[in-house]
Amino acid sequence: MIGFQTLFYKEVLRFWKVATQTISAPILTAMLYLLIFGHVLQDHVQVYKDVRYTSFLIPGLVMMSVLQNSFANSSSSLIQSKITGNLVFVLLPPLSHWELFGAYVLAAMVRGLAVGAGVFLITAWFAKLSFVAPWWIVAFALLGAAILGTMGLVAGIWAEKFDQLAAFQNFLIMPATFLSGVFYSIHSLPPFWQAVSHFNPFFYMIDGFRYGFFGQSDIDPLRSLTIVAVFFVLLASFAIQLLKRGYKLRH
């Protein structure tokens, strides 16, 4: 386990050394979203009974921060290693594909959860929150961070330059995140777009995460948890196979 521990430590240290950029900046961005959307829509939108819009918005912003930063950590690490050429120092040691997967994804989860915790601590001052089902909060936060860390790993393996990685993030991750119910309930959408939202795995992560706070959600949280867990298993299996084959890594 020494190799796994070393790689994990290296990945955590990589983002922690520039915490102003990797931790503080996303927290500031989430706070600006809260101030702008909360101020504009607070008195005009009520999604759940007895839940003010600002309170509704905070769990969505927390989870969005967890997802985006988990993806950013593993994807940026791999593409930087490819471009600078230091990926060889990761591939030369006798690390199994399981150890590579575990170290990259676990470090991505640490960053995502750290940013999410920071966003929560800052934004919780602006609204009253309850914790109806805290274990649901933990379960969806961990699974969501693991899924996006794995997606970042897949994107980092596939991409060969920053432009390709940016396209992956701008045309897949960002739209899927913003259209997942962070700022609204899907019940406010027309029937067609409600149906489309059910094909977005990010929707289930955020809806289930929000259920842990209010005990209310757009769909049954157990169904959301099942879908998210199955999606993670399939995605993790795919990523592990890529690592095992050395796809775009061992040229």
List pLDDT tens digits, range 46-79.
677 777 888 888 999 999 999 999 999 999 999 9
pLDDT digits (tens, 9 = 90+) for 146-186: 999 999 999 999 999 999 999 998 999 988 988 888 888 88
**Res 123: pLDDT:** 87
Angle among Cα 170, 171, 177 to the nearest 5 degrees reads: 75
Domains held by the chain: number? 1
**Res 54: pLDDT:** 85
**Res 75: pLDDT:** 96
- Write the CA distances from 236 to 73, 104, 218, 228, integer angstroms: 16, 12, 27, 12
Q: Which of 185, 178, 175, 115 is nearest to 145 (CA)?
A: 115
Q: Which of 89, 99, 76 is nearest to 159 (CA)?
A: 76
Does residue 251 sit within a domain?
A: no
Residue 7: both structure tokens together = 């790689």
**Res 45: pLDDT:** 64
Q: What is the mean pLDDT of the chain?
A: 91
Whole-structure pTM value: 0.93
Does residue 137 sit within a domain?
A: yes
What are the φ/ψ torsions at residue 230 (nearest 5 degrees)? -65, -40
Instruction: Provide mean pLDDT across the span 216-230.
Output: 94
Does residue 100 sit within a domain?
A: yes
Does residue 186 sit within a domain?
A: yes
Name the amino acid, one letter, at 40.
Answer: V
Does residue 95 sit within a domain?
A: yes
Rounded distance, CA 216 to CA 18, Å? 38
Contacts of 246 (CB under 8 A, 6+ apart): 91
Question: pLDDT over 70 for what percent of the chain?
Answer: 96
Does residue 73 sit within a domain?
A: yes
CB 82: neighbour CB atoms within 10 A? 19
**Res 251: pLDDT:** 66
Domain range for 83 is 2-245
What are the φ/ψ torsions at residue 85 (nearest 5 degrees)? 90, 0
Does residue 155 sit within a domain?
A: yes
- Write the CA distances from 5 to 13, 39, 87, integer angstroms: 12, 45, 17
**Res 43: pLDDT:** 63
Does residue 250 sit within a domain?
A: no
